[in-house]
């Protein structure tokens, strides 16, 4: 087995290593979510953690890692013989791929044994393998909904139940869940986010000396992994011993009523949902006291615990950034204890970085205030707009629920909640030839295909059942919902810069972004004003980033409508090459005016016709309001072969809009 990068050699991720250390001391804390930019050693650090954890006692050959010290533990494979030897093995780090199937995660019927021998046999999944170990999900925010549901159920109950295909199995599955993610690719579902006990933000160090040390150590490891690990063996052994000591000390740590009341006051002051925050903070404070070698919890322990356990529980909507006002936390906790103990984190040697939060940690309530160029004036009527100064920024209102926009036809994209598609989960509507996994076996179709061949195969003879061949297998075709790419093409020209109109436009776009978040879509943002169109946000899963770009969007100048449509077509073309299975939905937010360049309106309609001919399905949100209207947005919708939606109807609850394709839609399944 290749050497892992030593956990104690990690530099520049103090909060991350501390959080991982604390959940290693007390797995009941509930796991760690690591948020950060790419290239910050998130995966390297997680993989190194397993190397310093105490060995696990289990029965030899046991597929379910039953604890020999648990008298009530039951193995699904049957009673374990008393003569079975007990062995010690390293803690497993089980990686859950984002594209895994349900069967791979929970386990399934062994098809070959069932069809060939008529034996019902269960093949354990990743959750069984992760029992009493670490379950690691890289890019956890990209995990499909059906796998999120399985993780939520296992994390809540500590058990996995499989009831399908003639299999009825239940086994224990208690693990430390560790997830890493890049926030720019989208956020987690609130239910899964709350299941992570601790969360940390990581970023590359800005200190040149520290960056040099990181690069020096990594180059040394890549050149000689075994030699590098050997040089850090002493520190690894010391860390392993300290972890074991802290685990033994935790049951003796005293958490008195006064400290518990302080934890409750802190959680209440930060307005977190539920009581899980209080429980996690208390467990983390106790683990931190044990890590520092103390038998009583101090205010410093509570401070560290709150800093790790509360930031992600303060989000109220997808546009909120996680964070904690540490000045307010200090005010709530009062003066520090006189002896907070040794520095936090596992790196206690001379080469280890110091503990404590980075100076640029996100603070609660930090936001960029949008401003208005007419602070003292009242808005003019929309039918007689008074354009704001070019470059002015209007703020959005509170978004309401958007009406549903879907792409017509049946797609084959990733599972989501918007348009009809063939997906791994959903309603069975047909069958296809081919070898399936157990959960997608179309049993009636398989039997029907095998039945005509039973005489030649000797099937149905005395003592024999049906005889199957690989060519008989049929795979179930299921239809559910997919996620789409929602490209917002927003007019930010002078005709939109009237204070009230731009505010309404931003509010409507925020409603569409919130709807995209709930339906697991990717989003992109193209804006056009003055002379050009800009890609304000390339396709991403993060509506949080999109909302920030929208908040900073200035308005004013001429209307390059043709350039906006052409830039949108280019974004869609490139994304189709990158992700061909994800169908796009173009939403053009404009009043239909075009004022830049010669034959501006004609060029815009030709660009729209080109988009329609390419099969792009679109919606035009008409921002023209007031008594006298030119109807230019409706004409643009006709050229795009798109649905025309007035701005006021974007947030109409309960309405459904179906986007009509220029070409005939693909038919359903067989």
DSSP states of 209-269: HHHHHHHHHHHHHHH-HHHHHHHTHHHHHHHHHHHHHHHHHGGG-B--HHHHHHHHHHHHH
State the greatest distance between any 2 C-alpha atoms of the chain, in Å, as a whole number.
94
Question: Which among 45, 2, 40 is positioned nearest to 23, based on CA atoms?
Answer: 45
**Measured CA distances, 287 to 178, 209, 235, 272, 343 (Å):** 17, 32, 21, 22, 15
- The token duo for 483 is 């996620």
**Catalytic residue at 276?**
yes
User: Looking at the DSSP assignment, which residues form a beta bridge with residue 533?
Assistant: 528
How far is Cα 109 from Cα 478, in angstroms, rounded to an integer? 20
Tell me which DSSP letter residue 402 carries.
P
Question: Which among 50, 11, 5 is positioned nearest to 349, based on CA atoms?
Answer: 11
Cβ(625)–Cβ(382) below 8 Å: yes
3-state secondary structure string, 561-627?
Answer: HHHHHHHHHHHHHHHHHHCCCCCEEEEEEECCCCCCCCCHHHHHHHHHHHHHHCCCEEEEEECCCCC
How far is Cα 12 from Cα 24, in angstroms, rounded to an integer? 20
How far is Cα 539 from Cα 545, in angstroms, rounded to an integer? 11
- The token duo for 219 is 């180059």
What is the CB neighbour count within 10 angstroms for residue 586? 25
How far is Cα 100 from Cα 327, in angstroms, rounded to an integer? 43
**Measured CA distances, 180 to 38, 135, 185 (Å):** 10, 11, 12
How far is Cα 385 from Cα 369, in angstroms, rounded to an integer? 24
Cβ(659)–Cβ(642) below 8 Å: yes
Cβ(87)–Cβ(80) below 8 Å: no
**H or E element at residue 405:** strand 404-407
Residue from 276, 408, 500, 606 carrying the catalytic annotation: 276
Report, as residue numbers or ranges, the catalytic residues. Answer: 276
């Amino acid at each position: 087995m290749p050497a892992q990068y030593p956990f104690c050699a990690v530099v520049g991720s103090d909060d991350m290593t501390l959080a991982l250390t604390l959940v290693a001391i007390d797995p009941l804390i509930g796991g760690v979510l690591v948020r950060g930019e790419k290239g910050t050693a998130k995966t390297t650090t997680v993989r190194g953690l397993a190397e310093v954890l105490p060995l696990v006692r289990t029965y030899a050959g046991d597929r379910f890692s039953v604890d020999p010290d648990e008298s009530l533990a039951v193995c699904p494979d049957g009673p374990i013989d008393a003569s079975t030897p007990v062995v010690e093995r390293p803690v497993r780090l089980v990686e859950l791929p984002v594209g895994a199937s349900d069967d791979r995660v929970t386990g399934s019927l062994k098809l070959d044994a069932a069809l060939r021998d008529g034996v019902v046999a269960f093949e354990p999944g990743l959750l069984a393998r992760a029992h009493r170990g670490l379950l690691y999900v890289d890019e956890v925010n990209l995990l499909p909904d059906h796998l999120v549901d399985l993780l939520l159920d296992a994390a809540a109950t500590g058990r996995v139940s499989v009831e399908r295909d003639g299999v009825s199995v239940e086994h224990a599955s208690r693990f430390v869940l560790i997830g890493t993610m890049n926030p720019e690719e989208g956020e987690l579902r609130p239910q899964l986010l709350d299941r992570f006990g601790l969360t940390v933000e990581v970023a590359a160090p800005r200190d040149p000396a520290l960056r040099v040390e990181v690069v020096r150590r990594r180059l040394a490891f890549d050149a000689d992994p075994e030699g590098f690990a050997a040089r850090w063996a002493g520190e690894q052994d010391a860390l392993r011993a300290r972890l074991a000591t802290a685990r033994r000390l935790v049951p003796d740590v005293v958490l008195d009523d006064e400290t518990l009341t302080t934890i409750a006051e802190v959680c209440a002051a930060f307005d977190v949902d539920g009581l899980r925050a209080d429980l996690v903070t208390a467990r983390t404070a106790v683990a931190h006291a044990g890590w520092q070698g103390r038998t009583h919890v101090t205010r410093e322990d509570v401070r560290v615990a709150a800093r790790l356990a509360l930031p992600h529980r303060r989000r109220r909507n997808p546009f909120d950034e996680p964070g904690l006002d540490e000045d307010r936390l200090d005010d709530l906790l009062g003066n520090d204890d006189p002896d907070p103990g040794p520095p936090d984190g596992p790196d206690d040697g001379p080469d280890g970085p110091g503990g404590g939060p980075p100076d640029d940690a996100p603070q609660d309530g930090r936001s960029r205030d949008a401003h208005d160029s007419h602070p003292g004036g009242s808005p003019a009527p929309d039918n007689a707009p008074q354009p704001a100064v070019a470059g002015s920024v209007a703020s959005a209102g509170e978004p309401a629920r958007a009406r549903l926009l879907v792409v017509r036809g049946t797609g084959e994209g990733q599972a989501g909640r918007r348009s009809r598609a063939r997906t791994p989960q959903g309603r069975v509507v047909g069958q296809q030839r081919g070898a399936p996994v157990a959960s997608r076996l179309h049993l009636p179709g398989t039997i029907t295909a095998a039945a005509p061949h039973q005489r030649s195969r000797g099937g149905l003879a005395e003592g024999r059942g049906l005889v199957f061949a690989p060519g008989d297998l049929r795979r179930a075709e299921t239809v559910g919902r997919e996620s789409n790419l929602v490209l917002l093409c927003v007019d930010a020209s002078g005709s939109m810069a009237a204070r009230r109109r731009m505010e309404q436009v931003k509010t409507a776009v925020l409603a569409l972004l919130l709807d995209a978040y709930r339906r697991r879509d990717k989003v992109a943002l193209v804006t056009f004003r003055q002379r050009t169109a800009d890609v304000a946000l390339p396709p991403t899963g993060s509506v949080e980033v999109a909302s920030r770009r929208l908040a900073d969007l200035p308005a004013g100048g001429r209307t390059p409508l043709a350039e906006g449509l052409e830039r949108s077509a280019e974004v869609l073309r490139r994304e189709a090459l990158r992700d061909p299975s994800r169908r796009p939905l173009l939403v053009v937010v404009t009043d239909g005016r075009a004022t830049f360049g010669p034959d501006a309106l004609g060029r815009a309609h030709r660009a729209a016709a080109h988009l329609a001919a390419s099969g792009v399905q679109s919606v035009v949100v008409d921002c023209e309001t007031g008594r006298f209207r030119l109807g230019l947005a409706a004409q643009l919708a006709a050229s795009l072969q798109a649905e025309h939606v007035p701005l006021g109807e974007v947030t109409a609850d309960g309405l459904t809009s179906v986007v009509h394709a220029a070409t005939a839609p693909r038919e359903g399944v067989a």
